[in-house]
Amino acid sequence: MEPRKILSLKKKPTTEESIQAEESRPPMPEKTVIASENTKKPEPVKPSAKPALSKKPEHAKPAEVGPKVVHTPPVKLYKNKAEKRRAKRQRRKQRQKTFDYEPSVLAAAEELKSALERDYPALFPTDGTLPRPWKIGIHFEIMKKFGVESFIVKIAFALWLKKNRWSYLKAVSAGGQRYNLDGKPVGEITEEHVVIANAVRAKKVSVVGSKDLPEEQEAPL
């Protein structure tokens, strides 16, 4: 048996004959591409046109962006709770004097005042006669009777007292009984309330003068 040839991956040494054979080998022909009618030429890619930037006028200046300033009213500090409650009462009295309320609230108070003058003329007279002093807490009866809230009743009282305060103070300063909505006496007027009514009337007379008051609003004796 002939010995088996062993293949080797080693590169064989080049000889002069192999070099001459490679030089004498003719060059390979170049591939030619025949363009047919169906083949389309690639279109050249046009550079995308940039949008024209709007030029700002020379006099225009960029708006300055800064922190948003919020103007808050100063907070009034009170020394104690009693002073805060006193200031709250004063604001409420001032609002009742100027009647700085919403139109719907004022309309409801005016309607209630008219109903009280119509249904209870002895307590809320409009002909100039002295009214009967009201029961302490009579606004609770009015709230239950007419189905309204307390602040509506208080505004209705203020509207009625705006024209009849002097006659009511004169009725209280005379002393006597207090009356409820049904016209029944429920208790006497205390001496403290009589003194307060006389003091308010005397202060009013000292400011206005008794000559400027009507006959039924004369100064107390």
Q: Is residue 132 part of a domain?
A: yes
Q: Could you tell me if residue 8 is inside a domain?
A: no
Residue indicated by tokens 């100063």:
74
The pLDDT value recorded for residue 71 is 57
| Exposure string for 110-124, b = 16+ CB within 10 A, e = fewer | eebbebbbeebeebb
Give the residues of the chain that fall short of pLDDT 50: 208-221
What are 24-40's pLDDT values in tens digits? 666 666 655 555 555 56
pLDDT at 78: 75
At 217 the three-state DSSP class reads helix
The pLDDT value given to residue 90: 82
Which token pair is 166? 């002097």
Q: Where are the alpha helices (DSSP H) in the chain?
A: 16-24, 81-98, 103-119, 138-146, 150-173, 191-208
Arithmetic mean of pLDDT over the chain: 75
pLDDT at 219: 33
Is position 7 within any domain? no
Number of domains in the chain: 1
Q: Is 42 part of any domain?
A: no
pLDDT score of 112: 94
CB 185, CB 138: distance < 8 Å: no
> Is 106 inside a domain boundary?
yes
Predicted pLDDT at 93:
72
Residue 203 lies in a domain: yes
Q: Which of 220, 205, 145, 128 is nearest to 181 (CA)?
A: 145
Q: How confident is the model at residue 218, as a pLDDT? A: 37
> Could you count the other beta carbons within 10 Å of the beta carbon of residue 196?
14
Question: Residue 158 has what pLDDT?
Answer: 87
Q: What is the predicted pLDDT for the residue at 84? A: 85
The sign of the torsion formed by the CA atoms of 97, 107, 152, 88 equals negative
- The enclosing domain of 93 has a CATH number of 1.10.1710.10
Structural domain that includes position 154? 81-217
What pLDDT is recorded for position 105? 86
Question: Does a structural domain hold residue 67?
Answer: no
Please choose, from the candidates 120, 186, 182, the residue with its C-alpha nearest in 3D space to the C-alpha of residue 157. Answer: 120
Q: pLDDT at position 101, please? A: 74
Tokens (6 digits) for 158: 């203020």
Q: How far is CA 153 from CA 33, 58, 186, in A?
A: 106, 67, 20
Q: Is residue 196 situated within a structural domain?
A: yes
